[in-house]
């Protein structure tokens, strides 16, 4: 728990890995490795591919495994002629609690704009789920000294028109693009500084409510670097890609305090 009472949140982003049969094994193994103390110390989330959601929901609910379900994306409309898309109410019906919105892979590979991210954030809130809003700079932007400017504009766009009580429930993930899947992570100090600057943006929008909003770091988080990241006062958790696929590694990340 941070000094002002923000509960850490560690989320697995499986991306396009693990079919629903593998998912059962991974979640079962993870549940054998995590104990009540671990769930009491941090919120644990798995965001699998859409095709795994129902399977994991059934498993966690029948075995009382307190892992929350996340989705990796959604459309902003409730229904309609949008071939290939999945809507927020469909996710809510599966007891999905979190939806990752604006991941850099969606922005870079699938053309997601700040406007789409904002529409998705609002749609997720409308269906009582929590968005995990991703922001982060490219290597060029970082080297040009434009990190703060980039995350500032992404955060302002994502939260445009979002009211304080909703923003309070939101999770932000600061994910420098150059650190994703590259094995190059930001130093804990650098990540802390940028996250403090994101919190500054949220403070300018929501006043002291910003102190309650959880901000994760993501980008090559591993069992070996999580404790140093989590020791930073502004870092409230992690969004973990590659290292979340293996239940042993992910359990070690969740148990960073042990
Ligand atoms: P990574 O991915 O941990 O594999 O760097 C993080 C993410 O993209 O959320």
What is residue 186's predicted lDDT score, i.e. its pLDDT? 84
Query: Which residue has its alpha carbon closest to ligand 1 atom 2?
Result: 241
Question: Does residue 3 register a pLDDT over 80?
Answer: no
What is residue 132's predicted lDDT score, i.e. its pLDDT? 98
Distance 177 CA to ligand 1 centre (A): 9
Distance 207 CA to ligand 1 centre (A): 30
- Of 30, 5, 3, 11, the C-alpha closest to 251 is 30
Active-site annotation holds for 103? yes
* Alpha-carbon dihedral sign for residues 184, 185, 187, 193: positive
What is residue 195's predicted lDDT score, i.e. its pLDDT? 98
Which atom of ligand 1 lies at the shortest distance from residue 243's CA? 3
* Best mutation site among 107, 180, 215 for ligand 1 pocket (most ligand atoms within 8 Å of CB): 180
* Alpha-carbon dihedral sign for residues 7, 71, 140, 227: positive
Active-site annotation holds for 141? no
Which atom of ligand 1 lies at the shortest distance from residue 13's CA? 9
Question: Does residue 1 register a pLDDT over 80?
Answer: no
Q: How confident is the model at residue 71 (pLDDT cuts 50, 70, 90)?
A: very high
**Cα–Cα distance, 136 to 152 (Å, whole number):** 9
pLDDT, one tens digit per residue, over 187-209 is 999 999 999 999 999 999 999 99
Question: Does residue 2 register a pLDDT over 90?
Answer: no
Distance 81 CA to ligand 1 centre (A): 31
pLDDT, one tens digit per residue, over 152-186 is 999 999 999 999 999 999 999 999 999 988 888 78
Question: Mean pLDDT across the chain, nearest whole number?
Answer: 96
Backbone angles phi, psi at 221, to 5 degrees: -75, 135
**Cα–Cα distance, 236 to 21 (Å, whole number):** 31
Question: Does residue 4 register a pLDDT over 90?
Answer: no
Distance 252 CA to ligand 1 centre (A): 16
Rounded to two decimals, the pTM is 0.97
pLDDT, one tens digit per residue, over 249-258 is 999 999 999 9
Question: What would the mean pLDDT of 105-123 be, rounded to a whole number?
Answer: 98
Q: How confident is the model at residue 76 (pLDDT cuts 50, 70, 90)?
A: very high
pLDDT, one tens digit per residue, over 17-69 is 999 999 999 999 999 999 999 999 999 999 999 999 999 999 999 999 999 99
What is residue 185's predicted lDDT score, i.e. its pLDDT? 79
Ligand 1 pocket list (CB less than 6 A): 13, 175, 180-181, 218-221, 239-243
Q: Give the angle subtended at the CA of 57 by the CAs of 55 and 61, to the nearest 5°.
A: 125
- Rounded to a whole number of angstroms, the distance between the first and last alpha carbons of the chain is 14
Q: How confident is the model at residue 113 (pLDDT cuts 50, 70, 90)?
A: very high
Question: What would the mean pLDDT of 82-104 be, rounded to a whole number?
Answer: 98
What is residue 43's predicted lDDT score, i.e. its pLDDT? 98
Query: Catalytic one among 105, 141, 166, 175?
Result: 175
Q: How confident is the model at residue 77 (pLDDT cuts 50, 70, 90)?
A: very high
Distance 173 CA to ligand 1 centre (A): 11
């Amino acid at each position: 728990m941070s000094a002002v009472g923000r509960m850490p949140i560690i989320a697995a982003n499986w991306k396009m890995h693990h079919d629903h049969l593998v998912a059962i094994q991974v979640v079962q193994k993870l549940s054998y490795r995590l104990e009540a103390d671990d769930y009491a110390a941090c919120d644990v989330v798995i965001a699998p591919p859409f095709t795994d959601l129902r399977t994991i929901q059934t498993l966690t609910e029948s075995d009382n495994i307190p892992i929350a379900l996340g989705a990796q994306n959604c459309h902003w409309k409730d229904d309609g002629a949008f071939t290939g898309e999945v809507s927020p109410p469909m996710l809510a019906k599966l007891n999905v609690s979190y939806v990752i919105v604006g991941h850099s892979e969606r922005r870079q590979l699938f053309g997601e704009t700040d406007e789409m991210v904002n529409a998705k954030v609002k749609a997720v809130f409308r269906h009582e789920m929590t968005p995990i809003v991703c922001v982060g700079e490219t290597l060029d932007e970082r080297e040009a000294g434009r990190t703060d400017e980039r995350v500032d504009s992404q955060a302002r766009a994502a939260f445009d028109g979002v009211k304080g009580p909703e923003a309070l429930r939101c999770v932000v993930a600061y994910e420098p693009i150059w650190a994703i899947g590259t094995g190059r992570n930001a130093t804990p100090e650098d990540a802390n500084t940028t996250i403090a600057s994101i919190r500054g943006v949220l403070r300018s929008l929501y006043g002291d409510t910003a102190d309650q909003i959880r901000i994760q770091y993501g980008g090559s988080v591993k069992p070996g670097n999580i404790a140093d990241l989590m020791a930073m006062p502004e870092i409230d958790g992690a969004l973990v890609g590659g290292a979340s696929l293996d239940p042993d590694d992910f359990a070690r990340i969740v148990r960073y305090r042990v």
